[in-house]
Amino acid sequence: MNTNAVKLSHSSKTLSGTVQLTGSKSESNRALIIQALGNGTVHIDNLSSAADTVTLRQALETIAASDAEETVIDIGPAGTAMRFLTAYLTTAKGNYVLTGSKRMKQRPIGILVDALKTLGADIRYAEEIGYPPLAINGGFMQKTPEVRVQGNVSSQYLSALLLIAPSLPHGLRLKIEGELTSRPYLSMTLNMLLQAGVDHEWSGDTIHIAPQQTQPSTLAIEPDWSAASYWYAMVALSASGNIFLPELKRNSLQGDMAIVDIMVHFGVASSFENGGLRIQKTTTHSDKTLFDFKACPDLAQTAIVCAAALKRDLSFTGLQTLKIKETDRIAALQNELVKFGVKLVEDGEICHLDTAGLYQPEHLVIDTYEDHRMAMAFAPLALMFDPVQINEPEVVEKSYPDFWKHLKQQGFIIS
Q: Give the tens place of pLDDT for each residue, 10-61.
A: 999 999 999 999 999 999 999 999 999 999 999 999 999 999 999 999 999 9
pLDDT at 102: 94
Strand partners, 74: 99
Residue 1's pLDDT band (cuts 50, 70, 90)? very low
Rounded Cα distance, 290 and 170, in Å:
44
Residue 47 one-letter amino acid = L
CA atoms within 13 A on the CB side of 185: 28
Residues 6+ apart with CB under 8 A from 102: none
Average pLDDT in the 161-172 region?
98
Please name the residue ranges forming H helices in 107-264.
110-119, 155-164, 183-195, 225-237, 259-264
- φ/ψ (deg, to 5) at 99: -135, 180
> Hey, what long-range contacts does 58-65 have (CB within 8 A, 24 or more apart)?
59/85, 60/32, 60/33, 60/36, 60/88, 63/36, 63/88, 63/89, 63/92, 63/94, 63/96, 64/36
Alpha carbon separation from 70 to 63, 96, 304 (Å, rounded): 11, 5, 45
Residue 108's pLDDT band (cuts 50, 70, 90)? very high
pLDDT at 148: 97
pLDDT at 327: 81
Average pLDDT in the 98-106 region?
95
Residue 182's pLDDT band (cuts 50, 70, 90)? confident
Q: Give the tens place of pLDDT for each residue, 381-390.
A: 999 998 999 9
DSSP per-residue codes, 247-281: T--TT-S-GGGGHHHHHHTTTEEEEEETTEEEEEE
Residue 314's pLDDT band (cuts 50, 70, 90)? very high
Residue 332's pLDDT band (cuts 50, 70, 90)? very high
Catalytic residue from among 52, 256, 298, 367 = 298
Active site (annotated) includes residue 298: yes
Q: Give the tens place of pLDDT for each residue, 250-305.
A: 999 999 999 999 999 999 999 999 999 999 999 988 999 999 999 899 999 999 99
**Residue 2 clears pLDDT 60, i.e. is over it:** no
Please tell me the pTM assigned to this model.
0.88
Give 238's DSSP letter.
S
pLDDT at 110: 97
CA atoms within 13 A on the CB side of 63: 29
Adjacency order of strands within the sheet including 146-150:
146-150, 172-177, 206-209, 201-203
pLDDT at 386: 86
Ordered by where they begin, the domains of the chain are 5-23+223-414 (3.65.10.10), 25-220 (3.65.10.10)
Indicate the average pLDDT of the chain: 95
Least confident window among 1-5, 8-12, 193-197, 390-394: 1-5
